[in-house]
Structure 1
Amino acid sequence: INVANFRFSELSAEEINSPMKKLAFRNADLTDESFNELLKLLRYTPELLQAEFDDCALDGVGDFQPSESDIVRELGKVETLIIRRLHIPRFYSFNDLRSVYSLLEKVKRITVENSKVFLVPCEFSQRLRSLEFLDLSENLMVEEYLRNSACEGAWPSLQTLILSQNYLKSIERTGEILLTLKNLTDLDISRNSFRPMPDTCRWPPKMRFLNLSSTGIWAVKMCIPQTLEVLDVSNNNLDSFSLFLPRLRELYISRNKLKTLPDGSLFPVLLVMKIRENALSTFSKDQLGSFPKLETLEAGDNHFVCSCELLSFTLGQPALSQVLPDWPDSYLCNSPPRLGGQRVQEARPSVL
C-alpha cells in the first residue's frame, strides 16, 4: 500500500480509545511526512502493545518530528516494535533519530532485521532504558560501531541480544565490547564469520546462553564463558569438544565433524545434547553412562559402523527411545557393506 501521502484527520470522541493491540504495515511506502502523520494515531489506541513494519519502504532520511504531530511523549503501552526488511533508498544519509528517542524509552522488545543497520548511536542506546530484547539480525554491524552502540550506560535492562548474520570478525572483541551490558544473559552471534577463537575471553557476568552456530569455528577453547547453561555450536568445523562447562544443561553440536561423543564428565549437569550429522561411528553403554544427568540425546544421521559391540548394546537396551527421541529411524548402518542402509535397531551381527 502507498501511504506516502497519508494525512491524518481528527477522530470524533466516540472513536477514541480503540481496543486495538497490534498495528501492522506490510509492503507499505512511507515518507518522513506520512510517518509523522501516522504517529498521531497513538492518541486513539491506548491499548496498543505492538507495532510492526514488514517489507516497507521509507523514502526519507528519518526527519521525524513527533513534537509537531501533537502526540504524547511516549508510545503509551507499546512494548514491542518489529521492523523487517525496511528499504531506505537514502540510508547512508539517515539521521540519528534523535527526535524519537523519548518515544521509545519504555519499549521492551525491538527487532530491526535485514534493514542495513550499521550503528545504534550511544545516546539512543542509553535512552532505551526498558529494553529487554534486541534483535539486529542480518544487518551491517561491525565491532567498531558495536562499541559505540554498547557504550557505557547503554541498554541497562537488556537480557537478550541477537546479532546473527552481521559482519563481526572477533569473538574476543565482541565479548569485551559487551561487558557494559551487566544484565545480558542470552547472546546470539551466529552466522558471523569469526577468526580462530583465542584461549581466553571476557564476557558479561550473567551470560547463560551463547549461540555460535554457523560461524566457521574449528575449535572451542576456554574463551567460552563458564557460566553458560546453553551452548549452540552447530554447523561448524569441530572435530572434538573437550571443554569443561560445569553449568551447561544443553549442548547443540550437530553438523560438525566429531567422531566420538564428548566425555560426559565435562558436563556434570548436562540434560540435552544434539549431535546429529557428525562422523560418529558408534556409542556404548559406558559412553552414555559418563553423562550423570543426561535425559535427551539426539545422535541420528551419523556414520554408524554396525559392529558386534554396537549391535549388542542396542539389542540390550529396549528403552533407548526414552533417551534417543530420534531412535530408531535416524540410526542407519553405514558399514559393513552387507548392512548398509539398514536401521541399527533391525541389523543383526554376523554369525561368522
Structure 2
Amino acid sequence: MTDVVVIGAGQAGLSASYFLRRRNVDHVVLDANDAAGGAWLHRWPSLRMRTVHGIHELPGMPFERPAPDEPANLAIPSYFQRYEQLFDLPVIRPVNVTQVVNDGSLLKVETSDGVWTTRGLINATGTWRRPFWPYYPGQETFRGRQLHTADYQGPEEFAGKRVVVVGGGASATQQLMELAPFASETRWVTRHEPVWREGPFTEDYGRRVVGMVDERVRKGLMPRSVVSVTGLALNDQTRAAIAAGVLDRKPMFERITPSGVEWASGERFDADVILWATGFRHDLDHLAPLHLRSAGGGIQVDGTRVVSDPRIHLVGYGPSASTIGANRAGRSAVRELVSYLDGVLMTAK
C-alpha cells in the first residue's frame, strides 16, 4: 500500500518522484528497464550528443553537457542514475506493469513483481515500447529486410544497400543522413511535405506548440506527433544534406513489391532495406481496464489530470511529451493530485 504509484522512470517519472519526495508523499516508482535512463537507453548506439536536441535538465540537478562524441544512450542514462541516487528516489526495477484496475476508492497496480494498492497514479510510460508499423499493400511480399527505427543500430549495416527510409520525423532525417554515406542509394518518403523550421526554439514558440497539442487532448483526441506541430530543424547539417540530395523527399509510395516499392505513377525503386521511421504510440495498454479512452480515441486530459478519473495523471502525454514539458507536468501533476487526495481524506473525515 502506498499513497501514489508512478509508472515509468524517464524524465517525466523522475520529475514527478522528485516533487512527491519534496512533499513527503509516500510513493514508489515502477520502471520496466533494467537500469536508469528511460527511453534514452534504447536510442541507437551511433547517436552522439552533438546531434541530440532538446535535452533539458531534471529539477534540482544541473545537466553538464557531455563531450560531443559521447553516445547519447550512455551519457543521459548516467545523468539519470546520478539523479536517482542524489535524491534517493524510490525506483524499483525491473518491474513490468501488466494492468491497473479499480479496487473501490483505490487502484490496484498489478505487476510482474506483485501488486501495489494506491490512492493515486501518475503514469509516465512514454512510447518507446510501442513502435508503430504502418501497413502498405504487398508489405508481406518484400524479399529484403524491414526494420523500425527502434531496431536501428548504426549505419555500417547498410553498407552497399539500397535503402528506403519512411517517415517525416527527426529520427528519419537523422538516421538517413547517417546511413546515406554507407548505402549505395537511398530514397526518403513521407506522407506529407516536410516543413522546415529555421531559428531557435523560443519559449513563446514552445507555448504555441504546447497549446496546439493541448487543444486536442482536452477534446479526447489522439495527440499529434511532435514534428507535425514543430516542423523539422533547418541547420547546417540538414542544409548540407538537402544540397547533396540526401534529404530529397518523395511522396509516399502506393505499394510494396517483392523487390522494392512502387508509386501510383508507375515509378519503382528496387530496395534491399525498408527502414520504418514511423514513430511510436503511447504505452497505455495497462490502463485499459479503467476504460479511460474517449470516443475520439485518446484519453481526455485537463493539463495532466484524466478528466474521467482525477486519481490518475498522465505525464509525458500530449502537451507534456517533451523534456521541458515533462518537468512542468511532473510538478503540476503532483500539486494537483496531492491536493485532490488530501481533499478526499478531509471529506471522508
State the TM bucket, normalised to the shorter chain. under 0.3
TM-score, L = length of structure 2: 0.21
Which one has the bigger strand percentage?
A: 2
Which one has the bigger helix percentage?
A: 2
Larger Rg: 1
